[in-house]
Amino acid sequence: MKGPDGKVTSWKLESLSPSGLIRQGLKVKTDLKIGGEYSYRISPAWKDPEGAKLGFMRSITVAGKEYVVVEL
């Protein structure tokens, strides 16, 4: 994620299992690529000791389509 200063911030996201994402309609093997750019809605959790921020993924947007993982 890029912050207001343009710096990239690393996040560790927790989500459903791949089969749970598939049930939401996401084609995990073909839609998600390593190094791809995706948009997320998350619920932040906390900052881990290594400096990465932790959060739970609420939705992911792939190629303009939003897949809702969970509504909190």
CA distance 13 to 68: 14
CA distance 7 to 26: 29
Please list the ranges in the chain whose pLDDT falls under 70.
1, 48, 51, 72
CA dihedral 25, 28, 30, 31 (to 10 degrees): 70
Half-sphere exposure of 30 (CA within 13 A, CB side): 3
CA distance 60 to 25: 11
In this prediction, residue 72 carries a pLDDT of 64
In this prediction, residue 52 carries a pLDDT of 72
- Judged by DSSP in three states, 29 sits in helix
